Structure 1
Amino acid sequence: MRTVDIIQKKRDGKLLSTEEIEFLIEGYCSGEIPDYQMSAWAMAVYFNGMSAKETADLTMAMARSGDQADLTSIPGVKVDKHSTGGVGDTTTLILAPLAAAAGVPVAKMSGRGLGHTGGTVDKLEAIDGYRVELTKEQFLQQVRSIGVSVISQSGNITPADKMLYGLRDVTATVDSIPLIASSIMSKKIASGADAIVLDVKTGSGAFMKTLDDSIRLAQAMVEIGAQVGRATVAVITNMDEPLGFAIGNALEVREAVDTLQGAGPADLTELCLVLGAHMLQLGGKAASYDEARAAAGQLLASGAALGKLKELIAAQGGKPALADRPELLPAAEFQVPVPALEDGTVSHIDAEALGVTAMMLGAGRATKEDVIDLAVGIVLRKKVGDRVAAGEPIAELHMNRNEPMFTEDMTQRMRNAYTISQEAVEKAPLIYAVVTKDGVKLLQ
């Protein structure tokens, strides 16, 4: 088998066999296939796409390129949840304990943030003492014992994906649905879950900016799940404005605790109930979505999900008291309000711009080497559809540096991210569609 023949075959729009795809991935990982040939193949895929079977074969080849978690010692249907990334997305900290409280095992490996999207592991490190690294046996035993563990992703999960993504990033081949779908799903499959719930973000703060592209990506990932025997559901959700009010690590943990206490933002609470219902249904704890939704609501209202969060924190070395007293979380030295300059209604919030501003405050990383300030970030005071008067705060900056020029720059960035209209504003829906193996169900 020759690499050049495989490149030519894909260049000409023909289907690759399972063996050809495995040859490519194994050869690239071993160093036998050079970057320039893999780049040519990626560009051929970019222009000609891949079939559902090819995409599934690529996904499994990448999943097998490194460590694979074996969760068979954990009884029950293990359900994982993945978000394609956004701003203020703290759903894992709510959904993992909620699903576990229903008896659905959650053995979750999460990543760190880079750029304007936050990472779950960074948020967990805002909890004093919480250990994001456990041995394999500690991880499995904890899930067997309390039903949930959330740890840092192994360094050797899907090395082929890391190599290929780095190559795509510098060869203008990132925006390929099959390559994006296989990248995401290879990590989920290597993590060992039996079923997967995907939160596919769409809008200005998301990787996929349009609803059509988001649906195409969701369909590709659900199809991969079907091809490789993992029940998969994707929910298309709005990221034209941040989810909830908090952006930043400790701030988002506090908001997650508020939500588990029944006092969280309406949009964050609603999304967690929707995603949680799908997790419960896939986990076999409900016969229908409506039954699962009711069960998820009861777990939130009764405090059972909050109790499970306390168990999770205690099991991994943290202080469970913060689930009752979130003021124990790290707090920034300065809270600087950002007043509106005019009366009106908030008609748009540039979620990506807010994510970048939070990163510049120190809440995220521009490079992998950057050190995060866990306390800093942004708390929104107004969201799309809200009325605001001149001088009234639209947001609040949580900062650990307060030099006048820096503060003014951050304040201006916040104002630039907000659009205030004199007209009535129709708020966009939170959830656009649900994608299953049976098709796309548009909700709006």
Structure 2
Amino acid sequence: MIDAAYNIETIRKDFPILSREVNGKPLVYFDNAATSQTPQQVIDVIVDYYQRYNANIHRGVHTLSQEATDAYEEARIKIQRHFNIAKPHEVIFTSGTTHAINLVANGFSSFLKKGDEVLVSAMEHHSNIVPWQMLCDRTGAVLKVIPMNLEGELIMEEYHKLLSEKVKLVFCNHVSNALGTVNPIKEIIDAAHRAGAAVLVDGAQAAPHIKADMQALDADFYTVSAHKMCGPTGVGMLYGKKEWLQKLPPYQGGGEMIAEVTFEKTTYADLPHKFEAGTPNVCGGIAFGAALDYMNSIGFGAIAAYEHELLQYATEKLLEIEGLKIYGTAKEKTSVISFNIEGVHPYDIGTILDKLGIAVRTGHHCAQPIMDFYQIPGTVRASFSFYNTKQEIDGLVEGVKRAKTMLL
């Protein structure tokens, strides 16, 4: 049930972009799985940073540098608390999930050997496939895939069969970007640990909908991108258990990540700075913290309940359209619907919807193996956020009907 205090009109007023028009029509933004929109409260934080205390951090003794450093490190603590991470130094600022995954993959090059095995799920984003393929090419390790069924759920019996003492790493998304499936991540982690394997969870699609608890999940690594959860692009975080972060070699060399440098030898800084070479996205990190503040002010329980109602409503309405098929019908889903209309290319539907002011994503969604599994070129993906409405969904349904009439 949606909380009676959930005021969608008040929430929508926080997002300036929702008042604009596209092609002469009111914007309906259903591409939230790619990038969410940014509330005025976060925009104000970004403007305030550049107007009042824009400076490099950690190394300056002047006032602006100290203010920027304090705000940046306060954001790190906000992230730590939000995800229930044991210590702030287990939070590594990155440019996003892709950066975080590559950081871990690069580090594990030191630990894998020929014949070791790496498991990934069949429903991964390309950023959680390609780095592991590159890792296996470098080390001689073997990449194996946890299969999925037609509903878009992992076949867990097969996952358990794949686990053995050869498996050193398991990588899985918490939520599928293409299908919206919520994976049984706790079961995946616990089983991998019993087999002696480490686990990285791609949390990019989960973080806007689920308040993941690192102590409860016991993941070794967890990644998030701020732009999926009301923050700016170009910033994210890698959570890593201290014991793993201490073992991994640095991903990049340069300023900030060093303790002492001579031409003969360099010693590395303590965590988290060991993995944060160079000038960071200071403003982005601070705004990431502000975005978490904003979403927590609404409440993740309230957000989940509202988005679930949107998902149910949209599913029912879209399935009334003859010839429309939804891909990804898992029992546990976030507010994502991937669909096609028989005989119509998804790109053509997306183009017509754009003319009506409705933004959806079309194509393979950086998840080509999923499309190959279903033997389709791609889908139309409508992804809903806590600031969307049923009235907007009605507009989507009418737009799809119009596209179908025009294209068939």
Q: Same fold (TM over 0.5)?
A: no
Higher RCO structure, 1 or 2 (CA under 8 Å, sep 6+) = 2
The TM-score, its normalising length taken from structure 2, stands at: 0.28
